[in-house]
Structure 1
């Protein structure tokens, strides 16, 4: 195409993506070649990612993700097997957190260290190594500051609140996505998402979402925004399966990315 103004650019895996505008029309280019075009910049950019994602060897799209999930849980989110394997223990951890360290109290309160530590220990979503480090955090002098920062991020979910939470956790070498997203996910599973990096990156590559290339270990609010976009897209794609909250969406991602083909049986 002729001279055009670059609106946005980025990468998806090894592919260089570019959104350009010319004469009021938008063009999505992958490695210099026009793949999609249209009159809505955001839509063209999303379509460009969707089309480019299909070139990843892992790609099987949202339909493939759905088929894989239903192979293990044929009745979807509302089967007894699914609840027992993936949902009930996370919901129990949430209920325990709400009872012992409710969000509205934790954001300004003090003395919730043991309750918060217990919430982290209530699931297998963090590694034993991470849980050991958190024991020092929530039984130490900075416990209240960390908890308040986590509660503030749950309420605000912006760059400043993430920065304050990172600053509180960094001296303990706990400024990790798993630690940062765990409490917001349990406090507000309607709004937040737990980030287990490797399985989530793998899932994003399989459905062709830019989170696969947007992810970085550094606590960057743009990474979290990309994660939430992945969650919203997945929720829309699965609307007929009626996911109740992001506990269901996180479980879906885990099943698609982690369950093995030789897993014993399926669940009704």
Structure 2
């Protein structure tokens, strides 16, 4: 049997390997396949004939966004069951234990509560109506300083960028639109990114922090190194570029939703839990964040 690049297959005897995707056209002797359960395998066609899968059964979030790491980073694929075990080795009681609450959850919850108090939709609407852009900038910086998620130099760039009244106004209007606007998220995100570029504060952390901390039920925070690491570990393409862009953030949201679904047995509450999980699953890289 011949196999073409992109074919979806399963091993006829090893169910734990799950669904796979053929990575290149097979030759007469072997076929190279990426399986969700174990990563990349080269199968001898003399002994194994993978079963071709079509239709709805052939769809999987990882394979639909598959990234095979070809860089020198040395990051190897790690299945979700492996990642869950790694997470539980650090937090045996999972998302609801004391250690997780103290190291990961509590300070982000406090920042979320502060963000709702200072720039929830009702107070934000009121400040915008009275054109109190100075106060909006002040409150935004206070929310930023409530956690260690954004690097100190990036916090300083935002603070420096919000000195001029014109910058405060543009930032206030764009941030309100990002958080509470009626238009599609893509346009709101791009508009906010342009304002950050104008005030020389265009970093992924700053661009995604407010969505995440105000509404962690939907949105993910992007810290480039660890977001890339965790996505590569899971074989999930996030189309990362250093410059702010919608495709990368859209891909990160898809990756986050995939993780939320796949770790459902751990009962994650929101993207705060998922973001912490992303930090924890990479061997040797974990630190409280």
Q: Please list the CA deviations of residues 146-175 of structure 1 after superposition, one character each: whole Å capped at 9, or x if unmatched.
A: 133123223456321122112211122211
CA distance in 1, matches of 2:194, 2:57: 36
Residue 68 (structure 1) shift:
1.1
1:51 CA displacement? 9.2
Aligned to 1:60: 78
Quick one: higher RCO (CA 8 Å, sep 6+), 1 or 2?
Answer: 1
Is the Cα contact below 8 Å between 2:216 and 2:271 reproduced in 1?
yes
Match runs of 1:209-224 below 5 Å: 209-211=236-238, 214-224=239-249
- When residues 194 and 49 of structure 1 are mapped into structure 2, their CA distance, relative to the original with a 3 A threshold, is closer
Match in the other structure for 1:30: 23
User: Does 1:85 find its partner at 2:78?
Assistant: no
Distance 1:19 1:51 in 2: 16
Superposition deviation, residue 57 in structure 1: 4.8
Task: Answer with 85-94 or 164-173: which moved more.
Answer: 164-173
Across the aligned residues of Structure 1 and Structure 2, the Cα RMSD in angstroms comes to 3.3
Alignment equivalent of 1:43, drawn from 59, 63, 80: 59
Distance in 1 between the 2:284 and 2:110 partners?
22
**Computing the radius of gyration over CA atoms, which structure comes out larger, 1 or 2?**
2
Q: Tell me if the contact between 1:70 and 1:76 (Cα under 8 Å) persists in the aligned partners.
A: yes
Distance 1:49 1:135, change over 3 A: closer
Residue deviations 1:85-130, cap 9 Å, x none? 0111111111111112213443671331111101111111111100
Q: Which has the higher helix share?
A: 1
Secondary structure of the residue aligned to 2:275 is: helix
Matches within 5 A, 1:217-232: 217-232=242-257
| CA positional deviation for 1:50 | 5.5
Equivalent position of 2:274 in the other structure: 249
Normalising by structure 2, we get a TM-score of 0.72
Counterpart for residue 113 of structure 1 = 137
Could you tell me how far apart the structure 1 residues matched to 2:283 and 2:163 are? 33
Partners of 2:58 and 2:261 lie apart in 1 by: 17
Identify the residue that residue 23 of structure 1 maps to in structure 2: none
Identify if the C-alpha distance between structure 1 residues 90 and 51 changes in structure 2 by more than 3 Å, giving closer, same or farther.
Answer: closer
**Alpha-carbon distance between aligned partners in 2 of 1:47 and 1:255, rounded to the nearest angstrom:** 23
Residue 193 of structure 1: aligned partner: 220
Unaligned runs of 5+ residues in structure 1 are 5-16, 21-26, 264-268
* Contact 2:154/2:203, CA 8 A, preserved across alignment: no
Alpha-carbon distance change, 242 to 44 in structure 1, aligned in 2, over 3 angstroms? closer
User: Which contiguous aligned blocks of 4+ residues in structure 1 show a shift greater than 4 angstroms?
Assistant: 17-20, 32-37, 48-53, 258-261
Q: 2:175 matched to 1:159?
A: no
Q: SS state of the match for residue 160, structure 2?
A: helix
TM-score, with length taken from structure 1: 0.78
Structure 1 residues 153-198: Cα deviation after superposition (integer angstroms, max 9, x where no partner): 2345632112211221112221121101000101110111100111
Does the Cα contact within 8 Å between 1:116 and 1:138 map onto a contact in 2?
no
